[in-house]
Amino acid sequence: MYLFCLQIIYWLHYYYNNKQVAGSSTAIKQPLRRTLQPLVVCAAVKSIHQLVLMIEVKNIIKGFGDKIVINDVTATMQTGKCNLIIGTSGSGKTVLMKCLVGLFEPDKGEIVYSGHSFTAMGEEERKELRQQIGMLFQGSALFDSMTVEQNVMFPLDMFTKWSFAEKLKRVNEVLDRVNLKDANKKFPAEISGGMKKRVGIARAIVLNPKYLFCDEPNSGLDPQTSLVIDKLIKEITTEYNITTVVNTHDMNSVMEIGDNILYMYQGQKEWEGTNQEIIFSKNDRLNSFIFASEFLQDAKDMRMLEMKGKIDNNRNMDDLIK
Amino acid sequence: MTFFTELGRYLLMIKGMFSKPENMKVYWKEFMHQCNDIGIGSLGIVVIISVFMGAVSAVQTAYQLVSPVIPKSTIAQIVRDTVILEFAPTLVCIVLAGVVGSKIASELGNMRVSEQIDALEIMGINTKAYLIMPKVAAALVVIPMLVVISGVLGIWGGRLAGVASGILSAAEYDKGLLSSFFAYNVFFALTKAYTFAFIISTIPAYYGYYVKGGALEIGRSSTKSVVVSCVLILFADYILAALLL
Ligand SMILES: Nc1ncnc2c1ncn2[C@@H]1O[C@H](COP(=O)(O)OP(=O)(O)O)[C@@H](O)[C@H]1O
Ligand SMILES: [Mg+2]
């Protein structure tokens, strides 16, 4: 709410400043300005509304043949947060994500990007919007015939008119960002899975996207690399204040980065909440997903105790366990 | 899938190819890359086939023309015309359908299966235009050139074989080459070359672009694309001959 008000003030300030500069010759008369003011405020509120609510998913249904894979999912993907879609394999995470970016056309429902209906957009408008979207695919989807450097440079080649030196600078910047050095001249076939994912992320963020989609960014990776990638995604999200959507079935990442979690069960949204709430959820299906391992069940108990400890005014955990 | 839905999808793909390039420079680079791949990549096989087909047709024509009434130079004439009319465009394009076609189909198929096409799509690139258009344009530029080279080499191969096996002298061969030559035949050969080039590039592109599944399907669709292109080439060959000759 605070942000909201700040934005309105900023917007109005900006508007009047502009008017004074641009409209000095055709200055709007004072009374007219007064009548316009409420309208301007309305417009400002609307535009801020569009800025804040980034991706809205409304009653999406998608089936293949007569098998329904996504069944009436409604959700909001928030800006500046990692929005997680979790669930077991085959629960429809990838299909949902591909519906969001338009690689699959949903049978019913609407997808809205910052107040603009993606579903109703034509081919050209979508192409324009997509220049603000970065996506990391489950299999990385790097271009085989290009080196790491060329892969990351490709969006720059296509959509900027920069010189080669400028492009190279940016490429090295993002490769540095994902902790990948000395691999510029290697081909995708010559690097490991974790490196591929990182190159995939670098390619996805090279044009400073407003929306970032990651399909299982840490599947098939060792826990350490996996953590590095999670942290990276989280950092990028908060640093550039973008809307990030991540598919995962990895509980570590859920606890690490889950600001807004959507639990999918057989194509339906079963639960929604944050990583603070998830371990206390009363949903049986969600619980059997989260605590699939004994270890995590123990962790839950520990966490409960820890929380209780905090509530009971900094009592020592050791005492509690005793 | 029925024949008509496939045909419709093929035509839509062709239509989708003609959209405004996002960045001309990248498209141009890709076009040059494809010219190099298709042209230089298959030059070797084209040279070998052409020389041998010329040589073989010279020797076999001589074998069939046993009458002493017909002058030896007629052999050169026949070799010239069969090479220009049929061998250079059709035979070379059938071989190219195998070489270039399977390459295009498996390249696109691999990009589809490994989600590289989706990745391009997400960047806001028209994948039909970016991936298929440069290949078709390159084929249309390079394959007629290869056919011309093949024609020249075929005729030269016939001369080589004729002289080497003592069928006729080089002078007789050259005399035959120059008598009753119709420039129209060359035009006809080039018409064929352009038609076949279009088939060789678009049919495999279609099968590759729309592949579903995994590595097995890539192989299958690449084989299928070669078979379909070959049949279509022969069919178009007949239609063109019936229409233009
Ligand atoms: N292109 C497709 N055609 C038909 N069925 C599909 C297709 N893609 C996914 N499915 C089905 O949709 C379901 C969900 O798949 P997916 O979203 O990939 O699961 P995950 O949650 O593991 O990413 C699966 O049962 C799968 O068989
Ligand atoms: Mg998946």
Is residue A185 located within the same domain as residue A98?
yes
- Decide if pLDDT at B179 tops 80: yes
Please tell me the distance from the alpha carbon of residue A234 to that of residue A108, in angstroms, as a whole number: 32
B173 closest CA partner among B50, B58, B24, B31: B58
- Decide if pLDDT at A276 tops 90: no
Q: Is A143 on the interface with B (CB under 8 A)?
A: yes
- Decide if pLDDT at B242 tops 90: yes
Residue A114 domain-assigned (yes or no): yes
> B142 or A11: which carries more pLDDT confidence?
B142
Chain B partners of A206 at a C-beta cutoff of 8 Å?
A: none
Please tell me the distance from the alpha carbon of residue A231 to that of residue B169, in angstroms, as a whole number: 81
DSSP bridge pairs for A108: A61
Chain A partners of B25 at a C-beta cutoff of 8 Å?
A: 157
> A26 or A297: which carries more pLDDT confidence?
A297
Model pLDDT, residue A294 = 67
pTM summary value: 0.83
Alpha helices (H) along chain B = 3-17, 24-35, 41-64, 73-82, 92-96, 102-113, 116-122, 127, 133-164, 170-178, 183-209, 215-244
Residue A69 domain-assigned (yes or no): yes
Q: Is the CB of A93 under 6 A from ligand 1?
A: yes
Closest C-alpha residue for ligand 1 atom 17: A92
Is residue A31 located within the same domain as residue A59?
no
Is residue A78 located within the same domain as residue A175?
yes
Least confident of A22-26, A183-187, A235-239: A22-26
Residue A270 domain-assigned (yes or no): yes
Residues near A184 by beta carbon (within 8 Å), at least 6 away in sequence: A147, A148, A149, A171, A172, A175
Q: Do A142 and B121 touch (CB under 8 A)?
A: no
What's phi and psi for B2, nearest 5 deg?
Answer: -75, 165
> B22 or B224: which carries more pLDDT confidence?
B224
Q: Is B121 on the interface with A (CB under 8 A)?
A: yes
Model pLDDT, residue B30 = 95
Is residue A12 located within the same domain as residue A67?
no
A101 closest CA partner among A80, A89, A85: A85
Q: How confident is the model at residue A25 (pLDDT cuts 50, 70, 90)?
A: very low
- Decide if pLDDT at A316 tops 70: no
Reduce the DSSP state of residue B35 to 3 states and report it: helix
- What is the arithmetic mean of pLDDT over B32-52? 94
- Decide if pLDDT at A313 tops 50: no
Q: Do B118 and A157 touch (CB under 8 A)?
A: no
Reduce the DSSP state of residue B70 to 3 states and report it: coil
Eight-class DSSP state of A132: T
For chain B, the maximum distance between any two Cα atoms, rounded to a whole number of angstroms, is 72
pLDDT tens digit string along A47-59?
Answer: 554 455 589 999 9
Is residue A139 located within the same domain as residue A94?
yes
Is residue A180 located within the same domain as residue A89?
yes
Is residue A103 located within the same domain as residue A197?
yes
Q: Do B26 and A157 touch (CB under 8 A)?
A: yes
Residue A318 domain-assigned (yes or no): no
Write down which residue in A15, A34, A49 finishes a domain.
A49
- What is the arithmetic mean of pLDDT over B30-42? 94
Residue A167 domain-assigned (yes or no): yes
Is residue A225 located within the same domain as residue A251?
yes
Specify whether the CB–CB gap between A222 and A197 falls below 8 A. Answer: no
- The HSE-up count of residue A218 (CA atoms within 13 Å, CB side) is 24
Reduce the DSSP state of residue B3 to 3 states and report it: helix
Q: Is B215 on the interface with A (CB under 8 A)?
A: no
How far does residue B20's CA lie from ligand 1's centre (Å)? 33
Is residue A184 located within the same domain as residue A123?
yes
Please report, rounded to a whole number, the percentage of residues in chain A having pLDDT higher than 70: 75
Is residue A20 located within the same domain as residue A89?
no
* Ligand 2 ion local residues (Cβ < 5 A): A 94
Cα B108 versus chain centre, distance: 19
Is residue A44 located within the same domain as residue A189?
no
Report the number of distinct structural domains present in chain A: 2
How far does residue B156's CA lie from ligand 1's centre (Å)? 59
Cα distances (angstroms) measured from residue B36 to each of B29, B32, B42, B135, B138: 11, 6, 9, 11, 9
Residue A3 one-letter amino acid: L
Model pLDDT, residue B114 = 94
**Residue A21 structural domain:** 2-49
- What is the arithmetic mean of pLDDT over B135-161? 95
Residue A68 domain-assigned (yes or no): yes
Q: Do B123 and A143 touch (CB under 8 A)?
A: no
Is residue A39 located within the same domain as residue A161?
no
What number is the ipTM of this complex? Answer: 0.86
Model pLDDT, residue A50 = 46
